[in-house]
Structure 1
Amino acid sequence: MHFIPEELDTYVVNHTQKEPDLLQQLNRETYQKILQPRMLSGAYQGRVLSMLSKIINPKNILEIGTYTGYSAICLAEGLQVNGELHTIDINEELEGFQRKYFDLSDYGKQIHQHIGDATQIIPNLDKKFDLVFIDADKPNYPVYFDLVINKINSGGIILSDNVLWTGKVIEEVKDDDLSTKALLHYNQLLVEDQRIETVLLPIRDGLTISRKI
Structure 2
Amino acid sequence: MLIINPDAEAYCEALSDSEPAVLQEINRDTHANVMQPRMLSGHFQGRLLSMISHLIKPEFILEIGTYTGYSAICLAEGLKKNGRLLTIDYNEEIETLANANISKAGLTDQIELRIGKAAEIIPEIETPIDLVFIDADKLNYGLYYDLVIDKVRSGGLILSDNVLWDGKVFDSTQNDKKTKYLREFNQKVKNDTRTEKILLPFRDGLFVTRKK
Task: Determine the structure 1 residue equivalent to 2:75.
Answer: 75
State how far apart, in whole Å, the 2-side matches of 1:156 and 1:90 are.
25
Deviation of the 1:6 alpha carbon: 2.4
Q: Residue in 2 aligned with 1:37?
A: 37
Partner of 2:170: 170
Percent identical among aligned pairs is 53
Per-residue CA distance 1:31-88 (angstroms, 9 max, x = gap)? 1111111100011000000000000100000000000000000000000111010000
TM-score normalized by the length of structure 1: 0.96
Matched, 1:179 2:170: no
Cα deviation for residue 8 of structure 1 reads 1.8
Alpha-carbon displacement from aligned partner over 1:15-34 (angstroms, at most 9, x marks no partner): 11111000000011111111
Residue 113 of structure 1 is matched in structure 2 by 113
Match of 1:196 in 2: 195
Gaps of 5+ in 1: none
Residue 194 of structure 1: SS of its match in structure 2? coil
Deviations 1:157-202 (A, max 9, x none): 0001001100000113555x22111211111111110111100111
Q: Secondary structure at the match of 2:160?
A: strand
Alpha-carbon distance in structure 2 between the residues aligned to 1:17 and 1:141: 30
Aligned partner letter, 2:153:
N
Amino acid at match of 1:199: I
- C-alpha distance 173-113 of structure 1, shift in aligned 2 (>3 A): farther
CA contact (8 A) 1:173 1:180 kept: no
**Are 2:3 and 2:166, in contact at CA under 8 Å, matched by a contact in 1?**
no
Label 1:89 to 1:173 Cα distance change in 2 as closer, same or farther (>3 A): farther
2-structure distance, mates of 1:42, 1:2 = 16
- SS of the counterpart of 1:88? strand
Distance in 2 (alpha carbons) for counterparts of 1:85 and 1:20: 19
SS of 1:72's equivalent in the other structure is helix
Counterparts in 2 of 1:126 and 1:199: CA distance versus 1, 3 Å: same
Runs of 4 or more, structure 1, over 3 Å off, are none
| 1:120-131 to 2 correspondences below 5 Å | 120-131=120-131
Structure 1 residue 5, shift from structure 2 partner? 2.5
Match of 1:10 in 2: 10
Q: What value does the CA root-mean-square deviation take over the aligned residues?
A: 1.1
Q: Is the 8 A contact 1:140 1:182 kept in 2?
A: no
Amino acid of the structure 2 residue aligned with 1:208 = F
Query: CA–CA distance in 2 between the matches of 1:153 and 1:133?
Result: 14
Note if 1:63 corresponds to 2:60.
no
Question: For 1:108, what is the secondary structure of its paired residue?
Answer: coil
Asked whether the equivalents of residues 64 and 87 of structure 1 are also in contact (C-alpha less than 8 Å), the reply is yes
Q: Is the 8 A contact 2:129 2:153 kept in 1?
A: yes
Report the counterpart of residue 135 of structure 2 in structure 1: 135
Letter in 2 for 1:167: G
Q: Report how many aligned residue pairs link the two structures.
A: 212
Give the letter for the 1:183 counterpart: L
Q: Tell me the TM-score normalized by structure 2.
A: 0.97
